[in-house]
Amino acid sequence: MTRVAAVDCGTNSIRLLIADPDGAGGLVDVAREMRVVRLGEGVDATGEFSDEAIERVADALEGYVEQMVEAGVDTVRMVATSATRDARNRDEFFAMTADLLRHVQPGAVAEVISGDEEARLSFRGAIGGLDPADGPFVVTDLGGGSTEVVLGDADGGVRGAYSANIGCVRLTERSLKSDPPTLAQTIRAECYARDELAYAFGAVDTTPARTWVGCAGTLTTFAALHQKLAEYDPERIHHSRIPLTDLVGICDDLIAMSSAQRLALGPMHPGRADVIGGGAIVTKEIVAFLRRSQVTEMVVSEHDILDGIVLGLLD
């Protein structure tokens, strides 16, 4: 049996999926992990990774490598996304990943993928297990530094994809300076998010979409809050549904809260509390664009780019 692994290092978190093929074109999870490392902290302003951020990623990746070796993984693909595309000193980051990943697969190193590939991988992972009759699907992957918008069909065929230069960390660092943000800061952030997303929805015609699938930590946290979960529960979150009106209400509440108030919410990850208000602003603007389609709710997926990467390794 082939056992493979994917590592996704984004602006806010680094995540691991170790999986086996299920024999029917799907996956059986062996391990699925997430750690908040905030690799992209300050990159929007300085254009470089800080030493502290690279060290946080190295600590997390070392733990992932130990898990992969113990699980018998022999093939791994590690991708880096928005923050790494923007950083001038990314060679230092690559050298660190190569030094660690060689223990799993000689020659393996993190690779920067384009926004278009990120979008397509996210789409492939997110729509798995959904009813084909519910397509066309629009998938949004709301990350720390970018947001991918993809329209496609149940067979995995992508009609259009775009990676917008907006995410929860980037928007928070750029516009939401107070805790909680002032009304003026919120309005500026809304305008910035709307302008960036206009490029995405101009490039990808989502009006044919019948189902919206949202993935990544900001949106899965919204699902946990919608269900009033005492703690984060991936099994209850995966493929749950949030009506658009309820989703906007959750976003409004989070935007108005301080980080401490958000942190007091049961399923809130400590590494997300200070930036999820920015993610809520992006989400509200996505909802506004999607009201032009047949979409009435968001289907939340715990499966995303990690699953797309692993499926690609098994092709």
Q: How confident is the model at residue 118 (pLDDT cuts 50, 70, 90)?
A: confident
Q: What is the pLDDT of residues 124-183, one digit of tens each?
A: 999 988 999 999 999 999 999 899 999 999 887 899 999 999 999 999 999 999 999 999
Written out in words, the top-level CATH class of the domain with range 4-113 is alpha beta
Distances (CA, A) of 170 to 43, 190, 253, 282, 306: 9, 13, 20, 11, 22
- What does the pLDDT average to over 100-113? 94
Say if residues 127 and 156 touch (Cβ distance below 8 Å).
yes
| Cα-based angle 93, 97, 99 (whole degrees, multiple of 5) | 120
CATH architecture of the domain covering 130-305: 2-Layer Sandwich (3.30)
- Across the chain, mean pLDDT equals 93
Q: What is the pLDDT of residues 19-31, one digit of tens each?
A: 999 887 788 999 9
Domain parsing of the chain, residue ranges: 4-113, 130-305
Average pLDDT over residues 90-106: 94
3-state SS, residue 293: coil
pTM of the model: 0.88
Beta carbons within 8 Å of 163's beta carbon, 6+ residues apart: 82, 114, 115, 116, 118, 119, 146, 147, 148, 149, 200
In this predicted structure, the answer to whether residue 82 has a pLDDT above a threshold of 80 is no
CATH fold match for the domains 4-113 and 130-305: yes
Q: Note the Cα 108 to chain centre separation in Å.
A: 23
Range 69-87 average pLDDT: 88
* pLDDT at residue 84, rounded to an integer: 82
Q: What percent of the chain has pLDDT over 90?
A: 80
Nearest to 251 by CA among 139, 150, 168, 144: 168
Separation between Cα atoms, residue 300 and residue 223, nearest integer Å = 7
pLDDT at 232 over 90: yes
Kindly list the distances between the CA atom of residue 245 and the CA atoms of 139, 164, 210, 250, in Å, as whole numbers in the listed order: 19, 24, 17, 9
* pLDDT confidence tier of residue 263, bands split at 50, 70 and 90: very high
pLDDT at 1 over 70: no
